[in-house]
Amino acid sequence: MFMNSVLTKISGLAAGENKVIYLTGGFLRDLYLGNPGHDLDFVVSGDALSFARKIAEILAATYIPLDKINGVARVVLEHGKAKWQIDFAALKGWSLEEDLSHRDFTINAMALELSEYLTYLRAERGNPDRKNSARRHWHQAIIDPHGGLADIANKLIRTVSDYVFESDPVRILRGLRLACKLNFFIRPETIKMMERDRWLLHEVAGERIWEELLGILAVPESYPWLATMDAIGVLFEVLPVTEKMKLTQQNNYHVDTVWIHTLKTYKFLEDMCLDLNTDGILTTNRGKELREKILNHLDSKLPAGHRRIQLIKLAALLHDAGKVDTAKTLADGRITFPKHYGAGVVYVDEFARRLKISRSEASYLKKLVENHMYPLYLFINQPVCPVSRHRFFKKLGPDSTDVLLLSLADVTATYTSSGNEPDLALYRTFIGEFLNKYYFEPETYVNPPVLVKGTELMETLGLPPSKKLGELLKKISEAQVRSEVTNRKEALSYARLLLKEKP
């Protein structure tokens, strides 16, 4: 096993240098729970930076000094398709117990001497009868001065001290992420401390907040903890526009404030992604296949490396932010929000700057926010002709599914609150038809076969490179969708006809 091989090499170097090295932190917690990840944490006696550099050489890995003052370094290596991160930190204080007292939560404030763990691990090999006994032995060898094992048994998140968040405010989000990921509870006293110290998040680098937030968004059922973040004011510190959204009233089709509607949209989107069948959008005979395609799409990664499902949830939180600046009360008392989808881009930019997210992710969020009303517009203005579907898919490209699902969650939140179930059923069917055409009829609606290239139009019709050329190709594709053009000859004839028309 690759992990055991790595641990053995680390232990061997420590023994050769007369160092004591401990497994600790989140890796030990997850190892105890039977689900170890690829991020390993060690505490080393003596010079951790030098030790990490030597391990990097032994493993043919990359050495990254993280904090030279406090003696923290990272070793990064790849095995198969997995990336492993191994962090080494120098022992803080005069003892291991003092080091653990500086940790965040009790379930992370435990340690196990690596050599002792490997001794028990070797006892398991080739002897199935002793496996459970050996595991109990290494469990008993865990150094646990703050009651972390009891808290794991009781599924509790509890701080090690009253000053945990003051020393590093990002731990507020980390605690929420852990509760969300592990399905643990947070002690009421810890929740109160989070609420008390939430304002300190302004002092934290945006990248660190983004990393913890992504961890929360990655959990399939994160809504309850998002609601907790909102209730104790943490979400406001991350997304300040929420305060304005809570004060922005709606009427007409909406009965909720902008923020209540936003939370409902988030929950419906998350529920939908957990089980697409429950939303009635997979009613065709290819429903199972469509479900697999959508779920695979949501699990795929954007250019910056994060999964679509994480970012689409964030788009749900931001989709109506523009309403706070566009609200207008008409003479009859109705409230409208003209072009709120465009105004919301300002808040996406603000969020992206604060958390320093990548340009590609910011662009993705803006595209979803700007276009979340597009499907509903087509629904209201039915019938939808083939060219309208084609234009939708060409504009949104690989993000078409994301916009359709976000729109369905948005409309579900609106129609459910107002009791408009008949129209909701129709809209679900409408979105299902779009998804079926996107995945199963792409040659008709998404990317019709290329009948003629731009270079051919230039050579045959004597055209220079220009915007006109792109417009011709676009109109030829739309003519294909209408079945007016079916081959190269017809495409060239259609282009000639278009050129004769007045601009």
> The CATH number of the domain where 131 resides is what?
3.30.460.10
Please determine, for residue 130, whether its predicted confidence score (pLDDT) is greater than 60.
Answer: no
Please determine, for residue 292, whether its predicted confidence score (pLDDT) is greater than 50.
Answer: yes
317 shares a domain with 272: yes
129 shares a domain with 34: yes
Residue with tokens 């976000």: 406
Residue with tokens 């003479």: 331
Report the C-alpha gap between 172 and 170 in whole angstroms: 5
Q: For residue 422, give every residue at least 6 positions away whose Cβ sits within 8 Å of its Cβ, in sequence order, or none.
A: none
What's 45's DSSP letter?
S
16 shares a domain with 119: yes
Structure tokens that stand for 157 in this block: 């998140």
167 shares a domain with 111: no
Report the C-alpha gap between 96 and 112 in whole angstroms: 10
Please determine, for residue 334, whether its predicted confidence score (pLDDT) is greater than 90.
Answer: no
Which domain-ending residue is among 201, 233, 265?
A: 233
**Quick one: CA torsion of 160, 163, 165, 168, rounded to 10 degrees?**
-100
CATH number at residue 177: 1.10.110.30
Reported confidence tier of residue 503, pLDDT bands at 50, 70, 90: low
Structure tokens that stand for 253 in this block: 């089709």
Structure tokens that stand for 216 in this block: 């929360």
| Number of domains forming the structure of the chain | 4
pLDDT value of residue 223 = 96
Q: Which of 113-127, 141-155, 488-502 is predicted least confidently?
A: 113-127
pLDDT value of residue 121 = 76
pLDDT, tens digit, for every residue of 386-420? Answer: 999 999 999 999 999 999 999 999 999 999 888 88
175 shares a domain with 140: no
Report the C-alpha gap between 347 and 379 in whole angstroms: 27
Amino acid, single-letter form, for residue 19: K
253 shares a domain with 359: yes
Report the C-alpha gap between 88 and 215 in whole angstroms: 22
Q: Where are the alpha helices (DSSP H) in 17-47?
A: 25-32
Report the C-alpha gap between 449 and 443 in whole angstroms: 6
Please determine, for residue 498, whether its predicted confidence score (pLDDT) is greater than 80.
Answer: yes
Please determine, for residue 134, whether its predicted confidence score (pLDDT) is greater than 70.
Answer: no
Which domain-ending residue is among 233, 267, 293?
A: 233
196 shares a domain with 323: no
Report the C-alpha gap between 56 and 456 in whole angstroms: 55
Report the C-alpha gap between 78 and 2 in whole angstroms: 11
Please determine, for residue 237, whether its predicted confidence score (pLDDT) is greater than 60.
Answer: yes
Which domain-ending residue is among 233, 259, 288?
A: 233
Q: Which of 78-82, 110-114, 154-158, 222-226 is predicted least confidently?
A: 78-82
Residue with tokens 């965040």: 104
309 shares a domain with 436: yes
pLDDT value of residue 128 = 47
Q: Is 314 helix (H, G, I), strand (E, B) or coil?
A: helix
Reported confidence tier of residue 184, pLDDT bands at 50, 70, 90: very high
Q: Which of 50-54, 61-65, 235-239, 278-282 is predicted least confidently?
A: 278-282
Structure tokens that stand for 324 in this block: 């706070």
Between residues 122 and 455, the one the model is more confident about: 455
What pTM value is reported for the model?
Answer: 0.89
Please determine, for residue 50, whether its predicted confidence score (pLDDT) is greater than 90.
Answer: yes
Mean pLDDT of 332-351: 91
**Quick one: CA torsion of 306, 307, 308, 311, rounded to 10 degrees?**
-50
Report the C-alpha gap between 286 and 302 in whole angstroms: 27
Reported confidence tier of residue 124, pLDDT bands at 50, 70, 90: low
Structure tokens that stand for 233 in this block: 């004011």
418 shares a domain with 460: no
Nearest to 364 by CA among 354, 351, 377: 351
Structure tokens that stand for 406 in this block: 């976000």
298 shares a domain with 225: no
pLDDT value of residue 140 = 87
Q: Distance between alpha carbon 375 and the CA centroid of its chain, in Å?
A: 23
Please determine, for residue 363, whether its predicted confidence score (pLDDT) is greater than 70.
Answer: yes
pLDDT value of residue 421 = 87
Report the C-alpha gap between 63 and 49 in whole angstroms: 9
427 shares a domain with 291: yes
Sheet architecture: strand order including 39-44 = 62-67, 72-79, 82-90, 39-44, 21-24, 111-113
Range of the domain at 319: 239-445
Mean pLDDT of 226-235: 96
- Let me know: does 85 contact 77? Beta carbons within 8 Å: no
Percentage of the chain with pLDDT > 90? Answer: 67
193 shares a domain with 178: yes
Reported confidence tier of residue 242, pLDDT bands at 50, 70, 90: very high
pLDDT, tens digit, for every residue of 186-202? Answer: 999 999 999 999 999 99
